[in-house]
Amino acid sequence: MPAFESVLPPLREAAVLVPVYRDATGSLRLVLVRRGEGGIHGGQLAFPGGKREPQDASLQATALRETHEEVGLPINQVQVLTKLPVIVTMVSSFRITPFLGRIHPPARWLLQSSEIAEVLDVAVADLLAPEAHATEEWKLPGWTSPRPISFYRVGPYALWGASYRIVQPLLPRLLANEWAV
């Protein structure tokens, strides 16, 4: 019997930081990035992070290094609260490990302009508003037909895909103050 080879490429390890903090009024805030226009995820909302590099001691180290590189957040301004459930992407073949981190946001974000177009600071309460959540039929490049896509509206942008799958189960846990952010 011939050996069967998988048609899916091997998954690549990646990690992201899900930065949260309370502003001066006590409002819980979530920090997102909008990727630059290049690459497979160009223009999409995401969390700072990326591929694990050989020098990274752990996936947590990857998330912290990538966050520092992409938005200039010093590692000593992040308190990692927990590792969140792993998300697997099918299109880009990543196994993403998210880490929830309480941060002290800098006075000014230092964007890696080749990768990050902007930083978005979003009130968790805004994401929890019923009008912020939607499902629509989308047809993306490479798809043979439209599919229902759930997303959060963040200003003029849609938070969908892997980032949506990280945020959607996290919001009620943040609202319940599970980590005393």
* pLDDT for the residue 140: 78
- Its pTM stands at 0.91
pLDDT, averaged in runs of 10, over the chain (181 residues): 58 96 96 82 86 97 97 97 94 91 95 93 96 92 88 96 96 93 87
Q: CA end-to-end span of the chain, whole Å?
A: 56
**Which architecture characterizes domain 12-175 according to CATH?**
Alpha-Beta Complex (3.90)
Which pLDDT score is estimated for 38? 65
pLDDT for 1: 47
